[in-house]
Chains A and B, each alone.
Chain A
């Protein structure tokens, strides 16, 4: 611990407003997602995959009712009464997970700096550093951060025998009193990045994906590197004319958004989320 260490520039580990030049903010990778709500059937496969991949404990009926559930990705179900006659009876689904905001409201408020921005654009969470002040969740507009209200791993219904044998060894099991959230399956990303670095190249599109995207039977979730202009996710963002560094997209400002469906949730709060949603195409008649 030295004085010069204190004076170093640590701002790059904090969220900043994106400059507009993606290659400058993120020289190699900027992980991002596109979720097509029209393809989502609300089957919850992504949620199950996330539980399996990320060692999420099952909290049981009582605690679920109390809102103490630990699903990093949740399928929200809304009802549209006008569509009640259609085959889907007006049900609308919305997979909601951490939006990995560029200027994340959660990062600045953490008293111990347990949540930080990585150079590849992830909003990381350091479990060991977290003291559980829950300020990050208080300031999260999406409320996608989950707190370990109990010592879940030791609860009988979290992983009854022999389920502890199937826990993913690539990441930890979290204890009580700390915050956790979707990491974009950072353990997979790091493994792929490490392999690529060994081979002296960048991670190719499609080489790595998150558990939820992998499990989605309809391919509603697309995951990839936004810096790579030829990746699927970057192509989709471009096609939908959604730009990472805008708080209001040009197409919406100018009103020429016919035929494009891309939007980001609560974009006007200027958190610059990394997940683009594709609006549902509503079939008014069956």
Chain B
């Protein structure tokens, strides 16, 4: 075996000292590579663009986004679904893989969970940006008030608001509870203001048996609670469309289709961030190639589920009797949106086949490009759900194939990536993005297994 292959197959060392793990992970908080600050500045720049566009839109009105009568929704709702989708991977990795005892998730689940929380926050922003009267957003919340008015509990948008808030609070709890033992390690090693910061966050964690037992139970409970939430939240987002009457939206298979798409884009985003973190924080020892290999396989499997559900949708529309839906489908494939629609098919269903190659799965550059392409495809998918139905609905007088989102809409979409990036990177700087205690656990279990194998 040559050096290249040995490097590609190397997993976390069994004999790594626990102190070494602490040292490696803690230095990520202290001094990341300069790429970190460059990315941070870039994210800040994007965010500034988005904020500028939003201020302009808030003052002048939504018309500056170039909406019009049939095109009532645009990139905001498309990006909203995209960000909600991104949030699913964290739960998949941390909660689902946690209860099925998939060991390999341990070094990477922390940042996947952070991704969940921050992409939900980003999605929430899009709800606000989308509204015509942002200053009245609280009308959508069921709070007791002297006017005796309630929101409309029949509306899928209200279900959305509730599902997202529930998911957001639960995922934040999950993220926080899971990080308490690591906060304690940070507390023990930090100095200055950081010491106080981590002391508060660690909640007096001493690592006693009793604490560990309570910790295990609560962590498992939240994990079990989170899994149905993750499924329900994107099913409800799908209901925004499936419950409506419009051609191209009124499709029964939308909820599972949305959930599959969500897991898909989430996995792709995990690969992207995996590579970025591995470099900027010098996590080569922990974010190893075998782990990347496993996420890549998982991504491929989900990509095929997504492709299958896509085919089901096309087939049921094509062979159904609803001529309006059929026209929308034909419009997607041949109309003004066709370049984007075919790009989506290519990125979502063809590109993942590259993951079948072992060489690709072990090549960071190739994986980076592929994961970005997959995410591009998934963003386009959301846009292709929203826009073509508006351009080609039921009523012939209002067919409008020419409307194009203005720079304000594009600017805010870019800004959302900046906002997500800022939050995420700030998190990685303050909280260990590799779970130290879980990695130790993993190493310990492996040593134990090897010992048993030797003795047997």
A137 at interface by CB-CB < 8 Å: yes
Distance A66 CA – B152 CA, assembled complex (angstroms):
32
A69 to B397, CA, bound (A): 14
Residues of chain A within 8 A (CB-CB) of B152 are 14, 108, 110-113
Is A231 at the interface (CB under 8 A from chain B)? no
Are A67 and B133 in touch, CB under 8 angstroms?
A: no
User: Hey, what's the 0/1 contact readout for B294-312 against A, CB within 8 Å counting as 1?
Assistant: 0000000000000000000
| Other-chain residue from A68, A130, A266 in contact with B68 (beta carbon distance below 8 A) | A68
* Distance of A110 Cα from B244 Cα, bound (Å): 11
Contact between B132 and A176, CB atoms less than 8 A apart? yes
| B133, A113: Cβ atoms closer than 8 Å | no
Contact A109 B67 (CB under 8 A): no
Asked, given contacts A1-B144, A1-B146, A133-B131, whether A108 binds B60 with beta carbons under 8 Å apart, the answer is no
B372 at the interface (CB under 8 A from A): no
B68 touches A66 (CB 8 A): yes
Across-interface contacts of A138 in B (CB, < 8 A): 72-73, 244, 246, 390
Bound-state Cα–Cα, A29 to B358, Å: 73
Interface-lining segment among B109-117, B135-143, B217-225, B340-348: B135-143
In the complex the two chains form, is B245's CB within 8 Å of A105's CB?
yes
Residues 51 to 77 of chain B near chain A (Cβ within 8 Å): 60-63, 66-73
* Given A111-B140, A139-B245, A139-B246, residue A177 in contact with residue B400 (CB < 8 A): no
Q: Could you say which residues of chain A place their CB within 8 Å of the CB of B131?
A: 131-133, 177
State which of A142-150, A188-196, A217-225, A239-247 sits at the interface with chain B.
Answer: A142-150
Where chain A touches its partner, the secondary structure class is loop
Judge whether B393 is part of the interface by a CB distance below 8 angstroms.
Answer: yes
Interface hits, B122-137 → A, CB 8 Å: 130-134, 136-137
A177-219 vs B, CB cutoff 8 Å, 1 = contact: the mask equals 1110000000000000000000000000000000000000000
B161, CB-defined interface residue at 8 Å: yes
Q: How far is the CB of B323 from chain A (nearest CB, A)?
A: 11
Report whether B148 and A142 are in contact in the complex, using a CB–CB cutoff of 8 Å.
no
| B386 CB, min distance to chain A CBs, angstroms | 9
Residues of B within 8 A of A146 (CB): 69
**A141 is an interface residue with CB less than 8 A from chain B:** yes
Task: Knowing that A109-B156, A131-B139, A150-B60 touch, tell me 11 more A-B residue pairs with CB under 8 angstroms.
Answer: A14-B154, A96-B397, A108-B155, A112-B152, A129-B149, A134-B72, A134-B132, A149-B61, A177-B62, A177-B133, A179-B132
14 A-B residue pairs with Cβ-Cβ distance under 8 Å, sorted by A, are A66-B63, A66-B68, A110-B152, A129-B139, A130-B132, A131-B136, A132-B62, A133-B132, A137-B72, A142-B394, A147-B69, A150-B63, A178-B132, A271-B245
Binding site for A on B (CB under 8 A): 60-63, 66-73, 130-134, 136-137, 139-140, 144-146, 148-152, 154-158, 161, 240, 243-246, 390, 393-395, 397-398, 400, 403
A interface with B by C-beta (< 8 Å):
1, 5-6, 14, 63, 66-69, 74, 76, 94, 96, 105, 108-113, 129-135, 137-139, 141-143, 146-151, 176-179, 266, 269, 271
